[in-house]
């Protein structure tokens, strides 16, 4: 499949989702819970419908893995991986830090990623071997190489009570060593922020493929490095992610390792 065709459909789907999300933002009439702190709103569902309908209209035989509706379609070769609303908790609190994330994978390898932050009008795109862009302009990771000058981002899984000590230990170790740590609340955007050099690294555990598939490609196409916590090359089915500008990767991986409880 021509990657330009994939990118065009991904963009169309992201723009439709962006219109839906902007319409719903500040106007939610329904917020349900999937877990103690795991929310789903009508915006997640409406955005998902907009994205899935767009992809289905162009590629009815492709498989889709999307957060709210799960897996659909049988195609071992071509799969779309979708987070229709990344940053649902922010969205439900009217905090404008959220995105739609769309990835396309062939034979298990992510070939294209599109992430749209509609509140800021920021569109991140990457296709394998073609670099990454923000609103059509090429982006690169930062060249900060010292941890004491590095700004990092992280996130916390909804089932954080399962491994709260380990999560806090990693956070504590990083806070004591780096310039700053932020928790903005949308993993896809955290990865985009690494890709365009606004921060030097991002780590989180127990993420799902829809949180990371597009963003991980955007970071690597922007010149960064993406692995799991042990340094193995990242795949979307891996729950732990460490994405950096490359320059601080090993030192940060070692630091997270020392924090293991
Ligand atoms: C969540 C966000 C958050 C991260 C969570 C994710 P959602 O995704 O990306 O930043 O910390 O682990 O589940 O539920 O808003 O799509
Ligand atoms: Ca998500
Ligand atoms: Ca989501």
Q: Any idea what the CATH number is for the domain that residue 106 is in?
A: 3.30.540.10
Q: Of all protein residues, whose CA lies closest to atom 2 belonging to ligand 1?
A: 186
pLDDT at site 46: 98
**8 Å CB contact between 50 and 16:** yes
Asked if 187 and 209 count as a contact pair (C-beta separation under 8 A), the reply is no
The last residue of one of the domains, among 138, 163, 182, is 138
Do 77 and 164 lie in one domain? The reply is: no
For ligand 1, whether the C-beta of 87 sits within 6 Å is: yes
Shared domain check, 213 and 131: no
How many separate domains does the chain show?
2
State the pLDDT at residue 29: 87
pLDDT for res 27: 93
Looking at the structure, do residues 134 and 190 belong to the same domain, yes or no?
no
Q: Kindly give the distance from the C-alpha atom of residue 205 to the centroid of ligand 1, in angstroms, as a whole number.
A: 11
Which parts of the chain register pLDDT below 70? Answer: none
Backbone angles phi, psi at 221, to 5 degrees: -70, -20
Residues 6+ positions from 133 with CB-CB distance below 8 Å: 124, 125, 126, 139
pTM for this model (two decimals): 0.97
Pocket mutation for ligand 1, best pick of 66, 152, 155, 204 (most atoms within 8 Å of C-beta): 155
- Same domain for 238 and 159: yes
pLDDT at 50: 98
pLDDT, residue 260, reads: 75
Q: What are phi and psi of 253, to 5 degrees?
A: -60, -45
User: 154 CA to middle of ligand 1, Å?
Assistant: 11
Measured from the Cβ of residue 78, the count of other Cβ atoms closer than 10 Å reads 18
Does residue 134 sit in the same domain as residue 166? no
Residue range(s) defining the domain that contains residue 192: 147-260
């Amino acid at each position: 499949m021509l990657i330009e065709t994939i990118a065009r459909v991904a963009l169309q789907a992201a723009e439709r989702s962006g219109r839906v999300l902007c319409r719903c933002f500040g106007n939610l009439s329904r917020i349900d819970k999937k877990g103690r702190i795991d929310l789903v709103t009508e915006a997640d569902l409406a955005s998902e419908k907009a994205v899935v309908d767009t992809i289905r209209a162009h590629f009815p035989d492709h498989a889709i893995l999307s957060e709210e509706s799960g897996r659909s379609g049988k195609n071992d070769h071509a799969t779309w991986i979708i987070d229709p609303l990344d940053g649902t908790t922010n969205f439900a609190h009217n905090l404008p830090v959220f995105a739609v994330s769309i990835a396309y994978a062939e034979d298990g390898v992510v070939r294209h990623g599109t992430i749209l932050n509609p509140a800021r009008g920021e569109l991140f795109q990457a296709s394998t071997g073609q670099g990454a862009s923000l609103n059509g302009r090429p982006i690169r990771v930062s060249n900060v190489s010292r941890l004491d000058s590095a700004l990092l981002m992280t996130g916390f899984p909804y089932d954080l009570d399962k491994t709260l000590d380990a999560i806090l230990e990693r956070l504590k170790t990083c806070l004591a060593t780096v310039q700053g740590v932020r928790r903005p609340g949308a993993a896809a955007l955290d990865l985009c922020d690494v890709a365009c050099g606004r921060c030097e690294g991002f780590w989180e555990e127990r993420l799902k493929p829809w949180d990371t598939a597009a963003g991980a490609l955007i970071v690597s196409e922007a010149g960064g490095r993406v692995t799991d916590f042990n340094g193995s090359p990242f795949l979307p089915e891996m729950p732990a992610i460490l994405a950096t500008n490359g320059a601080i990767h090993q030192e940060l991986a070692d630091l997270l390792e020392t924090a293991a409880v």
